[in-house]
Structure 1
Amino acid sequence: MLNSELQLKLKEQKILPILNTTTLSNDIDRLSKYLEKNRSIRYIEVTLRENQSFDIALELQKHFTKHKFGLGSVLTKEDFIKGQDHNFNFFVSPGIVDEVLEINNLLYIPGAETVSEFIYLYKKGYKIIKFFPANLNGEQKKLQSIENILKDIKFIPTGGVNKDNINKYLDLKNVLCVGASNFEEF
């Protein structure tokens, strides 16, 4: 159900940088350096893992006006609604958050790791799924083994993506892009 523009842009940029916040100045510096070298990147995920993460995400939106920010580690309906109220462009969860699924939003990317979860989400109308943690759940071999079974689902593998395996993921038909908190490596 993902918004088609967002889906197209993520496919084009191949990497979804995932920023685990530290301090505003450090995060601005880190993103500035990365975006200077990677001008094709437009979409960035900021995780809600720390108390200050939401406030930092708001400031990053103001600072990087040419970029679109999404919230990651969305665990509750309240996280989602608060993000919507502040015009974040997309939302990502590490797993299935049923109360957010019920909102049926075109900007939500739920996470899953098993074939049963993939099918559950597909039946709910979700065709873009964060595959997390990819490195603990079969990596690209798992996605390759199901690409002819679950043909309509595209994945964003996240967790353990590195220089040695990124192209193995990106070569798969069912991978939209990869998510990486170590985005400076690429």
Structure 2
Amino acid sequence: MTDMIASLEAKRVVPLVQSDDPATALKISEALLEGGLDVLEVVLRTDAALDCLEAIAKEFPQAHVGAGTVLSADQSEEVIRRGATFIVSPGLDPASVKVAKDAGVPILPGVSTATELQQAWNLGLRTVKLFPASLVGGPKMAKALSSVFRDVRFMPTGGVSPANLKDYLAVPAVLACGGSWLTPKDAITRGDFAAITSLAKEAVAIAQS
């Protein structure tokens, strides 16, 4: 967890990798790494997502490769088997949290209310995903929740873009932001992986400014 958190503190951006082809997923990941981002969230939104995750984890051992959109304990066990070094979920599932904890793998469950965050806090979690961030109050929501849960850090995801990235990162409790804007489908379809590298560099520059 320490190494991953250190990377998040340095770069403060987590790109989402989505593909139905492992070879393409590797090219996306390589482009992101060239852009300076080494914490990659491979989302389970295609039939080949697990194969993509496994391929990226094997090809880029220097990166922190995690699984996103993990919905159950069974999926949590499988992504760990495939090489995920962290887990991200859209919601809070205690069974998945137990699997991750038993395996010593960090998990960032999604929360959108104080009640869900309190449940996560009582499960011993101190880093969570705020999702869908733009629809539940954005930076103001992160700031409000952090005033009560003072030892919790957030990774807002959902509606984050270069236009509002600074606003999120200006909240002291925000560790990093996740987003799919770094891996646009049209660029991937065109095979324009240089565009992804440029977006990654732009995000790093915004985060460090």
TM-score w.r.t. the length of structure 1 is: 0.90
Is the 2:16–2:180 contact (alpha carbons within 8 Å) kept by the matching residues of 1? yes
1:34 partner letter = L
Moved more, 25-34 or 15-24: 25-34
Residue 51 of structure 1: CA displacement? 1.0
- Tell me, in whole angstroms, the C-alpha distance in 1 between the residues paired with 2:84 and 2:160: 25
| Aligned amino acid, residue 4 of structure 1 | T
Distance 1:17 1:60, change over 3 A: same
Quote the residue 1:109 is aligned against. Answer: 108
Identity of aligned residues (%): 25
Residue of 11, 21, 24 corresponding to 2:9: 11
What's the TM-score, normalizing by structure 2? 0.81
Identify, as 1 or 2, the structure richer in helix. Answer: 2
Structure 1 pair 115/88, CA: closer, same or farther in 2 (3 Å)? Answer: same
Is the aligned partner of 1:75 residue 2:71?
yes
- How many residues were matched structurally? 182
Q: CA deviation at 1:99?
A: 1.1
Q: Which residue among 90, 97, 100 is the counterpart of 2:96?
A: 100
Alignment map for 1:1-186 (pairs within 5 Å): 3-38=1-36, 41-103=37-99, 105=101, 106-183=105-182, 184=196, 185=199, 186=203
Higher alpha-carbon deviation: 154-163 or 81-90: 81-90
Query: What is the alpha-carbon distance in structure 1 between the residues aligned to residue 83 and residue 31 of structure 2?
Result: 25
Secondary structure of 1:147's aligned partner:
helix
Unpaired runs of at least 5, structure 1: none
Distance 2:53 2:97 in 1: 23
